[in-house]
Amino acid sequence: MHYNSYGKQLTDEDIKLGEHRKFVGSYWELLGKLQFDYLLKQGLKPHHKLLDLGCGALRGGIHFIRYLEDGHYTGIDANASLIRAGKTELKKVNLDRKSSNFIIDENFEYKKWGGNFDYIISISLFTHLPISKIKKCLHAVSNTISPEGKYFTSFFRLECDEFDKKSCHNDHGIKTHDDNDPYHQKISVLRKISVPMDLEINYKGNWKHPRGQEMISFKKTQGA
């Protein structure tokens, strides 16, 4: 995982001290509730099947697991220690006995995910991935989302005209890059790479993320 710093494995002592909450970017309570409320507004119901890509230590997962029917939450992350930390968070709020699915995967090996997900969400995933990995992500999403499903993902939108400006600062003072973590993306490029995946993109814009990440959604192309 040379393209970002999320390969670091936290120790049991780190987890006990709550270091995982900082490791995933802090704003634990704010961002956990923000993404949950956002999906509720987009129509998420308890009977829906949800895939949480880059679920981390379950900052949002706790809220989804509490709300969804038993077994309807699947969390995927490349970092095994974060999933381990997430399970300790579930135990704190007495959700550890509720059935949930957790998969360690850093290569978007979607055949082991299951499928027919009604909703897929990833918060601060595209911001840590180069475009080559985003392509793999969209391919995996296309193969696991239900025909009427929607995939919501946050990203740093590139406001500059061209990629030849290697770095930009957004309105929140976050410096993003086209070839280094944290990454920014152009909507036109995301739209172009989604077409071969039989996905269509919808720019959603501001959703009150504290660092200025915006939201886009994908769904299967009609007739695909």
Q: Report if residue 100 sits inside a domain.
A: yes
Residue 3's pLDDT band, with cuts at 50, 70 and 90, is very low
Asked whether the predicted pLDDT for residue 4 surpasses 50, the reply is no
CA distance to 105, 182, 221, 222, per residue, from 146 (Å): 21, 30, 12, 12
Tell me if 176 is assigned to some domain: yes
The span from the CA of 183 to the CA of 128, in Å, is 6
Query: Encoding tokens for residue 31?
Result: 């961002």
What range defines the domain where residue 48 resides?
A: 12-220
Q: Is residue 60 part of a domain?
A: yes
Encode pLDDT of 175-219 as tens digits.
888 888 899 999 999 999 999 999 999 999 999 999 999 999 999
Residue 66 counted as domain residue: yes
Cα–Cα distance list, 190 to 39, 152, 171, 198 (Å): 21, 13, 22, 13
Pick the closest to residue 126 from 147, 155, 103, 152 (CA basis).
155
Tell me the CATH number at 161: 3.40.50.150
Assess if residue 30 is contained within a domain: yes
Domain assignment present for residue 156? The answer is: yes
Pick the range with the lowest mean pLDDT from 4-8, 10-14, 174-178.
4-8
- Residue pLDDT, tens place only, 110-152: 999 999 999 999 999 999 999 999 999 999 999 999 999 999 9
Tell me how far apart the alpha carbons of residues 151 and 195 are, in angstroms, rounded to a whole number: 15
* Cα angle, residue 135 at apex, residues 224 and 85 outer, rounded to 5°: 110
5 in any annotated domain? no
Q: How many domains does the chain have?
A: 1
Asked if the structure places residue 7 within a domain, the reply is: no
